């Protein structure tokens, strides 16, 4: 019985850190939204800087972030300077603003 209890405690202690690590990915986070004009896109460094009318804001953009122009999914490097975008993001535990979704509000017409 003691062995099973020890194994259970060990399993729980190994599993619990993973729960807190996964909270960001599971949607247990509070997101915010900012709209602004693209100042800089860094595809290599996976970041986006926008100007919201009063300040420059840098967002980290990972592979899981959804980026759209209209209904079309696009890549980070498809965003251009002076595009008006809306960024949904959260602040990570280390203070980095991480983009969840980016919507390019400049709709390109096919006409």
The answer to whether position 59 is within a domain reads yes
Measured distance CA(97)–CA(29) in Å, rounded = 12
Instruction: Indicate if 49 and 93 belong to the same structural domain.
Output: yes
The answer to whether position 68 is within a domain reads yes
pLDDT attached to residue 19: 39
The dihedral of CA 25, 28, 30, 32: what is its sign?
A: positive
What is the pTM assigned to this prediction? 0.72
Instruction: Indicate if 46 and 11 belong to the same structural domain.
Output: no
Decide if 91 contacts 33 (C-beta within 8 A). Answer: no
pLDDT attached to residue 28: 72
Instruction: Indicate if 99 and 52 belong to the same structural domain.
Output: yes
**Longest Cα separation, the chain:** 75
pLDDT tens by residue, 21-62: 444 454 578 999 999 999 999 999 999 999 999 999 999 999
The answer to whether position 109 is within a domain reads no
**Phi, psi (5° rounding) for residue 61?**
-125, 110
Domain count, the chain: 2
3-class secondary-structure state, position 18: helix
Instruction: Indicate if 54 and 79 belong to the same structural domain.
Output: yes
User: Is 7 exposed, middle or buried (CB count within 10 Å of its CB: 0-12, 13-18, 19+)?
Assistant: exposed
pLDDT of residue 13 exceeding 80: no
The answer to whether position 45 is within a domain reads yes
Instruction: Indicate if 44 and 97 belong to the same structural domain.
Output: yes
Instruction: Indicate if 21 and 52 belong to the same structural domain.
Output: no
Domain ranges, residue 44:
32-104
pLDDT tens by residue, 60-99: 999 999 999 989 999 999 999 999 999 999 999 999 999 9
**Phi, psi (5° rounding) for residue 16?**
-60, -40
């Amino acid at each position: 019985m003691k062995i099973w209890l020890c194994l259970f405690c060990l399993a729980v202690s190994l599993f619990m850190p993973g729960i807190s690590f996964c909270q960001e990915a599971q949607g247990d986070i509070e997101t915010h939204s900012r709209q602004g004009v693209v100042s800089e896109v860094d595809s290599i460094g996976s970041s986006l800087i926008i100007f919201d009318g009063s300040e420059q804001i840098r967002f980290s953009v990972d592979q899981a972030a959804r980026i759209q122009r209209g209904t079309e999914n696009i890549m980070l490097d498809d965003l251009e300077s002076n595009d008006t975008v809306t960024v949904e993001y959260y602040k990570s535990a280390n203070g980095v603003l991480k983009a969840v979704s980016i919507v390019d509000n400049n709709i390109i017409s096919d006409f």
